[in-house]
């Protein structure tokens, strides 16, 4: 028998029995962005990595407002979520170069929402051939890169793309 080690799953197993708190409300207040895989804070929302991703680079975009559905958001917040989604696509394209994306919102438990009380978007990078037999036959997903490695790469790219224009121009003139 072959053994596939996934020690990061233990944190999930141990916390699965605890009452669920809304990660989109709690994690931004903790101010431990690296530990919480929080990549970017926008005016009305945030971008964070999924702790249990479908693929490397699986991101979550959520408003700060704790609401169940998109139609409950003011237009300004909805527009900011779309801007955060576009920024995330630019970061992912530049840094990990996926061939496509699945972008979606699961509204309600029946649709697959794991956190149904706080609306959020999923951005899942895709590559040709990124599916294999492991999830089908052994209910195991193989991730090609450690979460912290992906986090560091994406964070650097978010910081580069969102740096104030004056800071970016100073960097260009120094070279």
82-128 pLDDT per residue, tens? 999 999 999 999 999 999 999 999 888 877 778 888 999 999 999 88
Q: Which of 40, 44, 58, 120 is catalytic?
A: 120
Classify residue 28: in a domain, yes or no: yes
Classify residue 104: in a domain, yes or no: yes
Active site residue 120: yes
Average per-residue pLDDT for the chain: 83
Classify residue 64: in a domain, yes or no: yes
Classify residue 140: in a domain, yes or no: yes
Q: Looking at the 3D structure of the chain, how many domains does it have?
A: 1
pLDDT of residue 135: 45
CA distance 143 to 32: 24
152-174 pLDDT per residue, tens? 999 999 999 988 755 544 454 44
- Report the run of H or E that residue 59 belongs to, with start and end: strand 59-63
Classify residue 171: in a domain, yes or no: no
Residue 68's domain comprises: 18-160
Residues 6+ apart with CB under 8 A from 162: 40, 87
Classify residue 82: in a domain, yes or no: yes
pLDDT of residue 163: 84
- Domain of 121, CATH number, reads 3.30.428.10
- Residue 44 confidence class, pLDDT cut points 50, 70, 90: very high
pLDDT of residue 55: 86
Classify residue 13: in a domain, yes or no: no
- Report the run of H or E that residue 38 belongs to, with start and end: strand 38-41
Q: 14: burial class by Cβ within 10 Å (0-12, 13-18, 19+)? A: exposed
Q: How far are the Cα atoms of 80, 100, 120 from residue 103, in angstroms, in the given order? A: 16, 10, 11
Classify residue 152: in a domain, yes or no: yes
pTM metric for this prediction: 0.76
């Amino acid at each position: 028998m072959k053994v596939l080690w996934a020690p990061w799953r233990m944190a999930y197993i141990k916390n699965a029995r605890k009452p669920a708190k809304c990660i989109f409300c709690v994690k931004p207040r903790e101010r431990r962005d690296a530990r919480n895989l929080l990549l970017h804070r926008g005016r009305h929302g945030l971008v964070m990595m999924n702790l249990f991703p479908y693929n490397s680079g699986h991101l979550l975009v959520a408003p700060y407002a704790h609401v169940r559905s998109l139609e409950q958001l003011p237009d300004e917040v909805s527009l900011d979520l779309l801007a955060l989604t576009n920024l995330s696509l630019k970061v992912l394209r530049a840094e990990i170069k996926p061939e496509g994306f699945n972008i979606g919102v699961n509204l309600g438990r029946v649709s697959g929402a794991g956190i149904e009380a706080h609306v959020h978007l999923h951005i899942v990078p895709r590559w040709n051939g990124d599916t294999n037999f492991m999830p089908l036959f052994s209910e195991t997903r193989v991730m090609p890169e450690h979460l912290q490695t992906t986090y560091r790469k994406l964070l650097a790219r978010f910081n580069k793309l969102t740096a104030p224009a004056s800071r970016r121009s100073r960097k260009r003139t120094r070279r």
